[in-house]
Amino acid sequence: MRGATTACEQSFRRGSPRWRPATRMVGRRLLAAVPVLVAVTFGVFALAAASPFDPVQQYAGAAGLNASQETLDQLRSNLHVDGPFPRRWWDWLTSALTGDLGESTSLRQPVAQVIGERLGWSVLLCAAGFACAVLAGTTLGVAAARRRGGAFDRTVTSLAYTLEAAPPFWLGLLGIWLFAVQLDVLPAGGLTDSGSDLVTAGALVRHLALPALVLAVAQVPWFLLYVRQGVGDALEEDAVRGARARGLAERTVLLRHALRSGLLPLLTLVGSRVPELITGALLVETVFSWPGIASATVKAATATDFPLLAALTTLATVAVLAGNLLSDLLYGLADPRVALEEM
């Protein structure tokens, strides 16, 4: 026993062998992310250049209809939207590497300021909705897996398949009709109460509850079905049957044996749901007038706001890559059978 303890202490001092391949995997993913981000930003500028919208006309508004061509050319030069798009992309990319994301032509603010003012609210909404979805989906999935084929299992599974087909904006409108119009228990949108510009903790919780609930409901079916399948299959394994044969309590069998094995597929789902979470959050923010990045994204797309559009797309790409990396790390560290060097 003492020898085993000494070996464990020596292994701890040298560092866990599972962390070394994990560190190498992170390094490989970071290197692979560089060309992906470069290609994404280039594609954004290429698509924006092919768009029929003129950013100068969008910026000038009604005044641009009567402006002379010389004035429009000068404005185009001031906004740095003249010349071929590869040059505009390269100028933006080299400036972004120094921390300068440029000026937003649609919002007439620095891009960094636009993102800084809105990103926190979007992250708060996504975090609250995602946490509720994971908690509710795991709880319902485990309950359904314990009695597969029963009335509860059939009910929640049918509801999950129905919700999978429901778009987030429809769920948002339904939530407003039920909780804000019919029951009048939650506000229909915004961030502050009517007649007040002050964001208090109470007002924040009330206004966050409904959009976070809608976003969670849109994500719950995936977690529920994955957990139900994983835990249900784990309950049929020989190790779990053996634990039951030894007389262990059903709660112990479920939590210490089946749940640990059955939740492994859920770890891979966490990263794969990030793109859907971002898309759903944008729709939910639009429906509930949440002061996140949704409004900035819409304006950037319709006004061909090259700097803001490239920054927001890059940010979304980074979130997707980070989510995939996180899910692979969690799965690899949770299951010793997985070789992190091959990921």
Residue extents of the structural domains in the chain: 116-303
Per the rule left: phi > 0, alpha: psi between -120 and 50, beta: everything else, 15 is left
Would you say 5 and 274 are in contact if contact means Cβ atoms under 8 Å apart?
Answer: no
- Specify the pLDDT at position 59: 63
Question: Higher model confidence: residue 217 or residue 46?
Answer: 217
At 340, the pLDDT band (50, 70, 90 cuts) reads low
Of the candidate ranges 113-127, 128-142, 233-247, 282-296, the one whose mean pLDDT is the lowest: 233-247
CATH match of 116-303 with 1.10.3720.10 = yes
Q: What is the pLDDT of residue 8?
A: 45
The predicted pLDDT at position 2 comes to: 44
User: What average pLDDT does this structure show over 87-94?
Assistant: 83
Q: What's residue 52's pLDDT?
A: 67
> What does the pLDDT read at residue 343?
53
Provide the mean pLDDT of the chain: 78
Give pLDDT, residue 10: 45
- When pLDDT is averaged across residues 235-262 and rounded to a whole number, the result is 70
Cβ–Cβ < 8 Å for 280, 343: no
Burial (Cβ within 10 Å: 0-12, 13-18, ≥19) of residue 209: middle
pLDDT exceeds cutoff 90 at 242: no
Residues of the chain above pLDDT 70, percent: 75
Q: How confident is the model at residue 335 (pLDDT cuts 50, 70, 90)?
A: low
SS3 297: helix
Please write the tens of the pLDDT for every residue from 188-223.
888 877 766 677 788 888 889 999 999 999 989 988
Q: According to the model, what pLDDT value does residue 124 have?
A: 92
Instruction: State how far the Cα of 131 lies from the Cα of 65, in Å rounded to an integer.
Output: 49
3-state secondary structure 241-258: HHHHHCCCCHHHHHHHHH
pLDDT in tens, 92-123: 888 888 888 888 877 878 888 888 988 899 99
